[in-house]
Amino acid sequence: MTYVVGYGPHKHDRSAIELACQLARSLPEPVVAVSVVPRGWGTPGAGGTDREYEQWAAGEGDDSAALALADLAQHSAVDGSAVWVAGRSVPQTLIEQAAERDATILVVGSGGDAEPGRIRLTSKTDRLVHSSTVPVAIAPRGYRTSSAVTRITVGFRDDDASWSLLTRAAEISKRASARLRVVTFLVNPSRRPVTNTVSHAETQVVNLWAAQAAAAQGEAADHLTSMGFTGANLQLITAEGADWGAAVDSVDWADGDVLVVGSSSTHRLAQVFLGSSASKILRHSPVPVVVVPGAAVG
């Protein structure tokens, strides 16, 4: 079992390695940084040009692996290594590497255009999270920490998939000796400061959502108590806001936090398909997010 890191040296951001090493400090497994370089054409007509291209790609791979090793060296307690492989598609090659190395999690960073401390998917990482069969952990841009994972926050909305996700997150939090927090996000535009145009029917719907969330959290609390959780290591909250950013910001986040969200498994061609709520939560999260395939949460 390993943590496989998609390492891109030209982004000048070691956040993915930082996150992978944080995970390894919590649940020790080797960390392997994988750099994907372009594969040559492989056609007889390419001749010397193809060989020169492959030599250039190999040089890029060697440089990238050396940089990854330098980043990993800052975490001496972690069993880290770095390799490079040639491939036509970065996401597909990383997925293949994850399978070959029996990866627990694929770890990637955010796009260079993301705000510091925030997450933004590139076209490559977007395809990765829509195709991976293993969880994908995404680090905010510029992410740095010396902490282990001390608290796991799991998104929960009381459907079969999120119940499964909740149980998986609970088991991992016990193994990592991390606290568990269950949060249900409620976005209620009708509860803005100015609500003169909100009808009585809309208010009733909002109140019904809140009541349903409270009942579901009560059931979740009973389930987790049966698994051995107590008030010392368990918290259940509802995060409400006029938009997704406000709802996510209403939660108290700290160093050592990781947010776990589920993906939708409704599309037969995609192992991981972020639903509208999960993708919006991800964009506003100030902490690393782990997207778990085959579970829809919000």
Q: Is 287 in contact with 144 (CB distance < 8 Å)? A: no
Q: How far apart are CA 171 and CA 154, in angstroms?
A: 12
Q: For position 269, which CATH number holds?
A: 3.40.50.620
> Which of 18, 104, 5, 81 minimizes the C-alpha distance to 288?
18
Q: What is the pLDDT of residues 152-162, one digit of tens each?
A: 999 988 778 88
Average pLDDT, stretch 10-31?
92
Predicted local distance difference test score (pLDDT) of residue 203: 61
How far, in whole angstroms, is CA 174 from its chain's centroid?
19
User: Between 200-226 and 160-175, two packed helices, what is the crossing angle to 10 degrees?
Assistant: 40
* DSSP-based three-state secondary structure for 211: helix
Predicted local distance difference test score (pLDDT) of residue 176: 95
Regarding whether 167 and 231 lie in a shared domain, the answer is yes
**End residue of a domain, out of 138, 171, 193:** 138
- CA contacts within 13 A on the Cβ side of 247: 24
Cα three-residue angle 34-261-245, rounded to 5 degrees = 105
More reliable by pLDDT, 295 or 247: 247
Strands (E), 88-156: 103-108, 136-138, 151-155
* Element at 38 (helix H, strand E): strand 31-38
Regarding whether 131 and 189 lie in a shared domain, the answer is no
Regarding whether 244 and 177 lie in a shared domain, the answer is yes
Q: What is the pLDDT of residues 235-251, one digit of tens each?
A: 999 998 888 899 999 99
More reliable by pLDDT, 25 or 111: 25
Predicted local distance difference test score (pLDDT) of residue 196: 54
Predicted local distance difference test score (pLDDT) of residue 198: 53
Indicate whether 74 belongs to any domain: yes
Predicted local distance difference test score (pLDDT) of residue 268: 37
* DSSP-based three-state secondary structure for 2: strand
Q: How far apart are CA 63 and CA 47, in angstroms?
A: 25
pLDDT band at 183 (very low <50, low <70, confident <90, very high): very high
Regarding whether 123 and 178 lie in a shared domain, the answer is no
Q: Which amino acid is at 15?
A: S
Distance, first Cα to last Cα, the chain:
29
**End residue of a domain, out of 115, 138, 161:** 138
More reliable by pLDDT, 297 or 80: 80
> pTM here?
0.87
What residues contact residue 86 under an 8 Å CB cut-off, 6+ apart? 36, 37, 38, 39, 40, 54, 57, 61
Instruction: Kindly give the residue spans of alpha helices, DSSP state H, lying in 27-122.
Output: 47-72, 90-100
> Which of 232, 134, 213 minimizes the C-alpha distance to 174?
232
Tokens of 222: 């009973």
**End residue of a domain, out of 108, 138, 168:** 138
* DSSP-based three-state secondary structure for 114: coil
Q: What is the pLDDT of residues 60-77, one digit of tens each?
A: 999 999 999 999 999 999
Indicate whether 250 belongs to any domain: yes
Q: Is residue 137 scored above 70 in pLDDT?
A: yes
Average pLDDT, stretch 175-180?
96
Torsion 286-140-18-106 (CA) sign? positive
Q: Which amino acid is at 296?
A: A
Indicate whether 253 belongs to any domain: yes
Average pLDDT, stretch 216-227?
93
Indicate whether 298 belongs to any domain: no
Average pLDDT score, the chain: 86
pLDDT band at 210 (very low <50, low <70, confident <90, very high): confident
